[in-house]
């Protein structure tokens, strides 16, 4: 389902998985871009969504809630059918092919061919912030403020997976077909360019034909302070 944006171009309806974690900040970033969002808590909430965001939080908890809410399989089918998905932090874990240091009953979709280690940055770097050099950002400065909170570490990248940003030689932003994943929290940096980049990966394929290129703005506005952020575990 698409709705007309102010400019007349189709605006995608983005579902934001809202079982747990930092979903509200994703909605804020998307709202800044004029993209309507819907919180997804039940299978019925998936009807008509053009894309899905899987937020940061706690991937073991989210994996359980996906099953108890009845969302696990319907989301799996949509992802297999090519639904564009953005997964951040715990969302990245849920989309990976292989998850290390996970509980044995933790589920993941295998939607992007990477191996990730939960909490892979270890105690000392449990949470940190850094300027990331990005490939492909629409406009604005070349760096993006990366907020890492008990982030997963990518230990293997399969063929066909594009690495869009690295930190200390480790991939932290990756894409395979319609699936984009970030080890960090772009929704917490008050910079909507990465969300714009995500919208642009599929905006041209929406009903209505014409490519609706989303402008990424001029980069970050006022950075948030640690206390303003929704800390996800």
CA 135, chain centre distance (Å): 16
Q: Is 98 a catalytic residue?
A: no
Q: Which of 49, 83, 93, 112 binds ligand GLN (CB under 6 A)?
A: 93
Q: Is 129 a catalytic residue?
A: no
Phi-psi region of 228 (alpha: psi -120 to 50; beta: other; left: phi over 0): alpha
Q: Which stretch binds ligand GLN (CB under 6 A): 2-10, 40-48, 86-94, 193-201?
A: 86-94
Q: Which of 13, 33, 149, 164 binds ligand GLN (CB under 6 A)?
A: 149
3-state secondary structure of 62: helix
User: Hey, which residues between 157 and 216 contact ligand GLN (CB under 6 A)?
Assistant: none
What minimum distance in Å lies between the beta carbon of 183 and ligand GLN? 9
State the Cα–Cα distance between residues 208 and 8, nearest whole angstrom: 10
Q: Which of 90, 154, 179, 203 binds ligand GLN (CB under 6 A)?
A: 90
119 binds ligand GLN (CB under 6 A): yes
Nearer to ligand GLN, 34 or 129 (CB): 129
Q: Which of 86, 80, 51 is nearest to 206 (CA)?
A: 51
State the Cα–Cα distance between residues 109 and 90, nearest whole angstrom: 12
Contacts of 146 (CB under 8 A, 6+ apart): 129, 130, 131, 132, 165, 167, 172, 184, 186, 189
Eight-state DSSP code of residue 51? E
145, 167, 185, 192: the catalytic one is: 185
Q: Is 131 a catalytic residue?
A: no
Compute how many residues bind ligand GLN; rule: CB under 6 A. 12
Contact positions vs ligand GLN (CB under 6 A) = 56-59, 89-90, 93, 118-119, 149-150, 232
- Please give the positions annotated as active site: 89, 185, 187
């Amino acid at each position: 389902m698409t709705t007309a944006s102010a400019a007349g171009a189709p605006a995608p309806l983005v579902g934001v998985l809202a079982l747990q974690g930092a979903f509200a900040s994703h909605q804020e970033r998307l709202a800044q871009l004029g993209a309507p969002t819907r919180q997804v808590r039940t299978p019925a909430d998936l009807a008509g969504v053009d894309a899905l965001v899987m937020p940061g939080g706690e991937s073991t908890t989210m994996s359980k809630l996906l099953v108890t809410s009845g969302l696990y399989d319907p989301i799996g089918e949509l992802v297999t059918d090519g639904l564009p998905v953005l997964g951040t932090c715990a969302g990245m874990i849920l989309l990976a092919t292989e998850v290390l240091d996970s509980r044995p009953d933790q589920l993941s979709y295998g939607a992007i061919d990477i191996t990730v280690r939960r909490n892979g940055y270890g105690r000392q770097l449990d949470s940190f912030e850094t300027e990331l050099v990005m490939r492909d950002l629409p406009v604005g400065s070349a760096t993006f403020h990366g907020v890492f909170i008990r982030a997963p570490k990518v230990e293997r990248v399969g063929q066909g997976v594009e690495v869009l940003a690295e930190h200390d030689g480790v991939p932290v932003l990756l894409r395979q077909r319609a699936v984009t994943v970030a080890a960090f929290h772009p929704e917490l940096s008050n910079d909507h360019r990465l969300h714009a980049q995500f919208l642009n990966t599929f905006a041209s394929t929406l009903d209505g034909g014409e490519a609706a290129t989303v402008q990424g703005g001029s980069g970050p506005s006022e950075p948030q302070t640690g206390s303003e952020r929704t800390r996800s575990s």
